[in-house]
Structure 1
């Protein structure tokens, strides 16, 4: 009943938001104020960047990479394979949840980043260059740092040996990292102070909500009914609930990757929990999982999940356009399928009503004339990645006695 109510609520929200054009109305209220704040803070950012030094550039760039989405995506498989399954599951879902809400606000408000020039913007990695193409408020790095560091601290204090010293040390480290990330985002010219303050505030709200519901979510994930159907339906609804930004940004693509990884993880855990993810799995450095066995898991697991991701992408690039054209779903491709990049290249095959009949008429009712098949391809490849981390890789570990 709760799952059905959640799906009904999400579907109702999609309809209400579309019918009353809530995206445009909310943007008209928030965007001018945020834009004025960002422009007004330009001089403060320039004064702060006067302390620039090559060592600071490198330190803050590395620090931003350590708390970036690619780092956490690479870190989570290692956490799963170390035996800390509950922590890894919750961090995966919390990362997808916080990333979705943060990107929704980004594209809803569509507020600019600090103007560069005059602000000096440092983008060392390709990931940072993509991040610079997104809108500014809130800062995703600070938001996710608050959420993930806060949940890790909660987990350690709840399930570890906790005393006054541990509590003080944990809070101090978490607070220090959040402050350093906030400073780094301003120093690197990626965000204004308003952006990072908004990221911290949103992160605290999301973390507080997650700490209330995380045990219920985990119980549903492990032993609930129709979990895979629920998560697939929710993933689809979240795509339609995503606001349309003023200009195209990579934020929606980032959401799809996180959402798909979470779905693949959910599917894998739901079907393999009692085989490979028991309530008390062997932990790293224990007698059942010595360091050498864990290193073997990493050496076997990393190539396995990368191979699955690559094969999922290749298979979906070939299969999904064929399925869509067969069903009469109008599609285009922005990068993955060159034959569908040209305008009208897909509609020539799918516009004939005799080809798909009823489905063609159904899709003609939707506002979009064509759908980007790259979204589905990206979803399949990252869902395959998530499934391989918790399903396929543990199966191989069992066969190899790792």
Structure 2
């Protein structure tokens, strides 16, 4: 039988964590009789498509890497076939969330609230830059994920399947986070009980193994993707470990006490991060990597400016025993468990309030401003928010709300629902050439029927870098980290929790 062409895409089968078999009473768990449209997934189009749209350098590098990814597929399929089990399906699908962007948004403020702001800066730096670097490499090389079939893709979020495969951002995140936490563990080992040290060390090893091996087990990445992502995470850790303190001292210092000097530092911080957005590589397919970069860059802007402001005002310097300008005072022996929980609840509430209020306000205020000054930043196949008659009191979730019938992927509520439901998606492509050509015929008919419709791209990278939604997204996520710092500092003082 002839081989299935390169642009083969997977279809979806939904399974539960307790069984991979289908249930006769549940259409949700049955293999769909009509193949989903994955022919246009990022990285899966024909070579001519990439040759015509990529620069000679990018196309040549892609051509060098693609055989490696293809060669790994059979090895990964054999491995998956030998070790796959319903319990492991559930475990690795669930633990993949521990390196997701939403998980980090939930967890990263905690070190700040418990008096470990320097740890929070370390984690934010390696994660933010890791997302930016891996996203750029994904969009630069436009390499697909491993083929399905023969692999099954097991995931709780279909959002991640929209991205290119190389390199693995999960691996970069997991490597950097694990190394940062291990470094902190060894730094404070003399203050910890032996059992506590061993427990934390074992937890970090299990965390790292679950994420790295899980990407291979779930069919989301190959060895090449995981290895490269891990190297990126390792290099980011080395930079932060050896130069992080010097970098923060230079970045947060007031180089000039004049009014011009006070203005220059925050403007420099904003300009530096905005340049990263400006020079983000543009892919040739719809890939949401750009929007992830925008979100994390917004967080970095907020945290850097917040800590700079704390540094020059000394607001927290004399409120903690270390007299450190960015450390929120915390002492468990004094506060106890109940007060500690109240502090966390208060901090989470402040962040939720900010996101709830800021979205409608920002997307109500910004579009009229754009219209007034006459800014028109057209996007490819996309109508700008500023000139749309639809409501502006919304922000896209990971850019996927531009897809017809899409859900708010990336929102905290969706993340929590996905975890509590314990569902994962088992994706597999057409099983043979007959299935494949039936899908092609279906796509041809569907394309003819919808030829008059405008196809909206998924990725924010296709729009101008300073559209309403990009600027709004930056403000919202910068506000999240600002609220986690200044909002929490004011709140603890106001309610006597400091």
Show the 5 A alignment for 1:169-208.
Answer: 174-208=204-238
1:46 counterpart = 2:77: yes
1:35 aligns with 66
1:15 aligns with none
> What's the offset of the Cα at 1:179?
3.2
Equivalent-residue separation in structure 2 for 1:300 and 1:393 (angstroms):
8
1:313-349 Cα shifts (integer Å, max 9, x gaps): 222212222222222221357599385389xxxxxxx
1:30-53 Cα shifts (integer Å, max 9, x gaps): 211222111111111211221221
1:92 counterpart = 2:130: no
1:78 aligns with 110
1:303 counterpart = 2:349: yes
Show the 5 A alignment for 1:117-156.
Answer: 117-124=149-156, 128-156=157-185
SS at match of 2:158: helix
SS at match of 2:143: coil
SS at match of 1:302: helix
Give yes or no for contact 1:264–1:387 (8 Å, CA) kept in 2.
Answer: yes
1:382 counterpart = 2:477: yes
1:359 aligns with none
1:230 aligns with 268
1:286 aligns with 333
Q: Residues 160 and 328 (structure 1 numbering): CA distance in 2 closer, same or farther, change over 3 Å?
A: farther
Taking structure 2 as the reference length, the TM-score comes to: 0.65
Taking structure 1 as the reference length, the TM-score comes to: 0.80
1:114-173 Cα shifts (integer Å, max 9, x gaps): 12233211121xxx3211111111111111111111112112322442799798877665
> What's the offset of the Cα at 1:29?
2.9
Give yes or no for contact 2:176–2:234 (8 Å, CA) kept in 1.
Answer: yes
Higher RCO structure (Cα 8 Å, ≥6 apart): 2
CA RMSD of aligned residues (A): 2.8
> What's the offset of the Cα at 1:24?
2.6
Of stretches 383-392 and 34-43 in structure 1, the one that deviates more from structure 2 is 34-43
Give yes or no for contact 2:137–2:167 (8 Å, CA) kept in 1.
Answer: yes
> What's the offset of the Cα at 1:193?
1.4
> What's the offset of the Cα at 1:263?
0.8
Give yes or no for contact 1:27–1:109 (8 Å, CA) kept in 2.
Answer: yes
Of stretches 256-265 and 149-158 in structure 1, the one that deviates more from structure 2 is 149-158
Structure 2: unaligned runs, 5 residues or longer: 1-53, 256-263, 318-322, 391-461
1:272 aligns with 310
1:393 aligns with 488
Equivalent-residue separation in structure 2 for 1:136 and 1:262 (angstroms):
25
1:254-311 Cα shifts (integer Å, max 9, x gaps): 0000010111111222223532365164335232x33222211112121211111222
Show the 5 A alignment for 1:342-357.
Answer: none
Give yes or no for contact 2:367–2:468 (8 Å, CA) kept in 1.
Answer: yes
1:337 aligns with 385
SS at match of 1:201: helix
> What's the offset of the Cα at 1:213?
1.6
Q: If each structure's helix is expressed as a fraction of its own residues, which one has the higher value?
A: 1
Larger radius of gyration: 2
Structure 1: unaligned runs, 5 residues or longer: 1-22, 343-366
After the TM superposition, which parts of structure 1 deviate over 6 Å for at least 4 consecutive aligned residues?
162-172, 367-370
1:210 aligns with 240
